[in-house]
Amino acid sequence: MTDLWQDPEDAQLARAIFGEVDRQAVEAMVLDWAAGQGFGGARLASIEISVGAAATLELADGSKIVVKTWSGDTAAPGLSAQLQVQAAMSKQGFPAPAVLAPLSPLGPGHAAAMSHERGGEPTDARIPAVRRHMAQGLALLLREADACRAIAGLPRRELPPEGVIWPKPHNSLFDFAKTAEGAEWIDDIAESALATMRKAGDRVVVGHNDWSAKNMRMGPQGIAVVYDWDAIFLDRETFILGSAVAHFQVTWELPVPETPTAEAMAAFLRDYEQARGADLTAFELEEVAAAATYARAYNARCEHAIDPVGARWRGSSRENLRSNGPYTAAALRS
């Protein structure tokens, strides 16, 4: 058997999604699924793997589509609802790839086909105009996606129950239970942030919980395309915003620090407030700070799970969290 991914972490993810890592077998699974959806005669041009897999297929006429695949552990009703939001937003002109084939089984998991959208440039959120477009885009999404809140099965992002700090990790690479030693300080920060989040009273919206540079590309007039619509959830506006301010700089395409400075985070918030047409209240700002802290702590906990000795400490979420501590409302107003 020939491994599709030489990196052992990628191989582990591939097995979780497709049930194996053999290149020919995985390619056949994807192409057979595509043919069953009416895209026969395609060839696999490339495949990227993370929480799910995104395969780019070249069709007989030279055009391209993307087949996105999720593991069987991912709840199909929620995925289907998220894809319905993506389709609705795309049809009304929001920069989302069109859904070409709805969710259906692929091997042990699920898959859907969507248009191949690679227009624009990699997103460098350090540029003030780009950061402003990102903040404006998030505010626009929350306004326009409100019409989708009645879609059946749309998942609600829930906090862990009392006494539990972390949700189930988002993929098979991270085993929090087996890597608890040495992570107690991260857990303490997250638990304190959760205490604030559990008292939150901000409104629930339809929003994108991974609003970051890696999930979009930029055009001359603003955002050219937004990816990863499986990050669409019913959640509190302040929690969606907290995750965004903590992660908006993250990209794998440019040498950009993952963690924004406090000044950049405050600027993102100002841009967002201007776009939504109302300033955050003091209570909302506290919730945003807590959600940003929890989001950054979750990243730190994932880092610890695969690197408990700290070999990749420099520039990490752990280093930032250890050096600067939790985010505060005051710092976000700097």
Q: For residue 5, what pLDDT is reported?
A: 59
What's the mean pLDDT when you consider all of the chain?
94
Instruction: State whether 234 and 281 are in the same domain.
Output: yes
Residue 168 CB neighbour total at 10 angstroms: 9
- Is 4's pLDDT higher than 80? no
Indicate the residue among 50, 82, 115 that finishes a domain. 115
Domain harbouring 294, CATH code: 3.90.1200.10
- Is 334's pLDDT higher than 90? no
**235 three-state secondary structure:** strand
Instruction: State whether 194 and 310 are in the same domain.
Output: yes
Domain containing 59 equals: 8-115
- Is 3's pLDDT higher than 70? no
Radius of gyration of the chain (CA): 20
Average pLDDT rounded to a whole number, residues 110-135: 97
Q: For residue 2, what pLDDT is reported?
A: 45
Distance set, CA 333 to CA 61, 118, 141, 237, 330 (Å): 53, 35, 24, 18, 5
Report if residue 181 sits inside a domain. yes
Domain harbouring 52, CATH code: 3.30.200.20
Instruction: State whether 171 and 318 are in the same domain.
Output: yes
Instruction: State whether 248 and 193 are in the same domain.
Output: yes
| Per-residue pLDDT tens over the stretch 247-303 | 999 999 999 999 999 999 999 999 999 999 999 999 999 999 999 999 999 999 999
Cβ neighbours of residue 328 closer than 8 Å, sequence gap 6 or more = 289
CA–CA dist 138, 54 (Å, integer): 24
- Is 319's pLDDT higher than 50? yes
pTM of the model: 0.93
Question: Number of folded domains in the chain?
Answer: 2
**Angle, helices 317-324/184-197, rounded to nearest 10 degrees:** 70
Instruction: State whether 181 and 89 are in the same domain.
Output: no
CA–CA dist 33, 113 (Å, integer): 10
Instruction: State whether 70 and 111 are in the same domain.
Output: yes
Q: For residue 80, what pLDDT is reported?
A: 98
Report if residue 309 sits inside a domain. yes
Cβ proximity of 124 and 256 under 8 Å: yes
| Per-residue pLDDT tens over the stretch 48-91 | 888 789 999 999 999 999 999 999 999 999 999 999 999 999 99
CA–CA dist 120, 115 (Å, integer): 15
Indicate the residue among 115, 131, 146 that finishes a domain. 115
Instruction: State whether 298 and 265 are in the same domain.
Output: yes
